[in-house]
Amino acid sequence: MALARNKNTEEGIIPKGQFISGGQDRKTNGRQVNIKSFPSRNSRRLFDHWEHIRRRLASADRVALFLDFDGTITPLCLTPGDVKLKPTTRALLRRLARHPKITLCFISGRRHAQLKELVNVSGAHYVGLHGWERDAGAKAAIASPGLLPKARQVLLKRLAGLPHVRVGDKGPCFDVHYHGASQATVRKARAIVYAVFRPLKAQARLLKGRDLWEFLPKEFEGKGSAVRDLIADVPGPVLPVYIGDDTSDEFAFRAIPDGITIRVGIHRRTRARYELRNPEEVITFLQQLEVAIG
């Protein structure tokens, strides 16, 4: 399968310090948006480049659409378990999943089963744990399955009592959320997290995400590897479109340099070509994408 090429590939910047240890990844509803035909020279705002993007979408034989979940198609919540997808957003996603020219995939740090339940769009592909859990199951075995559960128990004790700091559980990995915590609390939590991780460097990875740290087995290759595998399964030439809001999405941006890559939020350092400010703008873009593809 061949990727649709674009001669005018723009260079991005590889963010530093995504993984503290381990190798790099291998292989508005109801709102009007000003869509300009002629982009300003230095703008990364997607709608400043809309006419160019629209032409690429319209001329593509097939579009592989990859969507992160939290912070991308739905706003972040203080408690990750409180996140819900709007019915209007789900209706749009279901239309996109049924479109004959679109292969739709949701890719998240959440577990596969939870992601599928939250999105609830049939006909789409689901990839959990940053590419590790897929529709066909986990990608491979983990060499030291008991390592991170022990580290999690240590952090549960050491982080207890810090306001807005929560230790999650994802089976083979876990995360530490601090969304809503004060800067002083984040500094205390960071010192504890790094101290616990330091002896694990040879066997695990620490991923700094958006208001969280994630402890991952070294076998987790990241979203870029998953994106390449999924594109390889799509027949014929395909235009990849990837939208995400976190550092874990940078590996996917790098994996598809000729695709349409979009970072949600304002970020100085990113491999993505374009940016959208928030999930509302993401939904607006998806509505425009639906029209452009026809």
Q: Which of 209, 133, 143 is nearest to 171 (CA)?
A: 133
Residue 28: inside a domain:
no
Is residue 255 in some structural domain? yes
Across 165-193, b (16+ Cβ under 10 Å) vs e yields bbbbebebbbbbbbeebeeebbebbeebb
Q: 201 and 231 in one domain?
A: no
Domain's final residue, options 156, 186, 217:
217
pLDDT of residue 210: 85
Q: Which residue has the higher pLDDT, 133 or 38?
A: 133
For residue 144, the model assigns a pLDDT of 84
Per DSSP, which regions of 8-107 are E strands?
63-67, 102-107
pLDDT per position as a tens digit, 245-265: 998 999 999 999 999 999 999
CATH number of domain containing 236? 3.40.50.1000
Q: What percent of the chain has pLDDT over 90?
A: 71
Whether 27 maps to a domain, the answer reads: no
Mean pLDDT, residues 184-209: 95
Asked if residue 203 has pLDDT above 80, the reply is yes
For residue 164, give the CATH number of its domain.
3.30.70.1020
Domain limit, last residue, from 217, 245, 277: 217
Whether residue 16 has pLDDT greater than 60: no
Average model confidence (pLDDT) for the chain?
85
Residues ≥6 apart with Cβ < 8 Å to 26: 221, 222, 224, 225
pTM above 0.85, yes or no: no
Asked whether residue 6 is assigned to any structural domain, the reply reads no
C-alpha distances in Å from residue 249, one per residue of 164, 242, 256, 257, 275: 25, 9, 11, 13, 13
**Owning domain of residue 96:** 46-139+221-293
Mean pLDDT of 265-277: 89
Query: DSSP for 111-127?
Result: -HHHHHHHH--TT-EEE
| The two structure tokens encoding residue 145 | 């399955």
154 — pLDDT class (breaks 50, 70, 90): very high
User: Which carries the bigger pLDDT value, residue 7 or residue 206?
Assistant: 206
Q: How confident is the model at residue 173 (pLDDT cuts 50, 70, 90)?
A: very high
Residue 96 lies in a domain: yes
Asked, for residue 284, whether it belongs to a domain, the answer is yes
- Residue 169's pLDDT is what? 94
Q: How many domains does the chain have?
A: 2
CB 209 within 8 A of CB 108: no
Please check whether residues 50 and 110 belong to one and the same domain.
yes
Has residue 198 got a pLDDT over 80?
yes
pLDDT at 42: 52
Tell me the percentage of the chain whose pLDDT exceeds 70: 85
Give strand pairing partners of 199.
none
In degrees rounded to 5, what are phi and psi of residue 88? -70, -35
Return d(Cα 253, Cα 57) in angstroms, integer. 18
Tokens 């991780």 identify what position?
Answer: 197
Q: Last residue of a domain, which of 186, 202, 217?
A: 217
Structure tokens, 240: 């990849």
What whole-number distance in Å separates Cα of residue 145 and Cα of residue 171? 9
Together in a domain, 213 and 251 = no
Flag whether 95 is in a domain: yes
Q: 173 near 215, Cβ under 8 Å?
A: yes
Residue 11 lies in a domain: no
